Amino acid sequence: MKTARAAWRRLEPVHGMIYFVPEARRRYADLGLSGRAGYFASRSAAFGRASAELVISTFYNFNPDFVRQAVDGTWEATTPQQVLDARYAAAGEALRRAGIHQLSDVDEVVTLTHRAAEAACEHPQGRPLFAAHATLPWPEEPVLRLWHAQTLLREFRGDGHVACLLSEGLGGLDALVLHAATGEVPVDFLKASRAWPEEEWADTQERLRERGLLDGDSLSPEGVLLRRHIEDRTDQLALPAYAALGDADCERLSELASAFGRAVLEAGLLKLG
């Protein structure tokens, strides 16, 4: 399980950069999508003309009012296919800028991630965002095949994570506040990107303190244990994808993935703004 987590985490920048790179913002803007509309439209376009309520239900930790405002008029301005085409084009352009296509092990990493993603496609039940992306055609270009495979693995894991949060009685804002309390991500970034009102954030903190999960603004010992349980359970639910590789190939992917994640980071593809 630790090897599978390492393989996913080390390669995750290859997918995650799409939410930050200027290539994506420019292409979405060309379609008439400004601000966060591009993010919500591009990640939900696999559903087709997704309603705000569908986005709210599957993206989980965003302020619902913010989502409704951001997606209002999206599908009058453009089409899901146009958004998907823009997203893939931006992904390929950004990853080539990072030199991903020039890495010596790219073919092997593409093969391994493709195998894992194909295995995940045998388990779509209860994973709506993943299932929608699993219906999209596989790109031919190796760099885009890698990006698509890692996108599937990310959404496969993400849907399982939402299931874990629900089973523990944690709503979207609960999960966000607990995440902020770990100190892993700046609180200001989480507040700004998810757009929850300060009053609701403070009320949720107080509720989580009463539940014994927060000590001040930090996780309590009980909160630490709960977060660890959720992450471990999320790893377990993601295993059907990586188990298909077997121990040796999963270890190999984990080893090779570091260079790919590092290339994305060194090219500045995950910089905010």
Using CA atoms, how far apart are residues 116 and 151, in angstroms rounded to an integer? Answer: 12
Q: How many Å apart are CA 268 and CA 221, to the nearest integer?
A: 35
* Neighbour count for residue 272 (Cβ, 10 Å): 9
pLDDT of residue 271: 82
Confidence of residue 180 (pLDDT cuts 50, 70, 90): very high
Cα 251 to Cα 243: distance, rounded to the nearest angstrom = 11
Q: Phi and psi at residue 103, in whole multiples of 5°?
A: -70, 140
Q: How confident is the model at residue 32 (pLDDT cuts 50, 70, 90)?
A: very high
Per-domain residue ranges for the chain? 2-266
What percentage of the chain carries pLDDT values higher than 90? 93
pLDDT single digits (tens) 216-244: 999 999 999 999 999 999 999 999 999 99
Q: Provide the pLDDT confidence category of residue 99 given band limits of 50, 70 and 90.
A: very high
Q: Does the structure show a pLDDT above 90 at 98?
A: yes
Residue 273 reports pLDDT greater than 70: no
Question: What would the pLDDT profile of 241-260 be if each residue is shown by its tens digit?
Answer: 999 999 999 999 999 999 99
Over residues 48-55, the mean pLDDT reads: 96
- CA pair distance 228, 250, nearest whole angstrom: 22
Average pLDDT (82-97) is 98
Strand partners, 215: 218
pTM (two decimals): 0.95
Question: Which tokens go with 86?
Answer: 């823009």
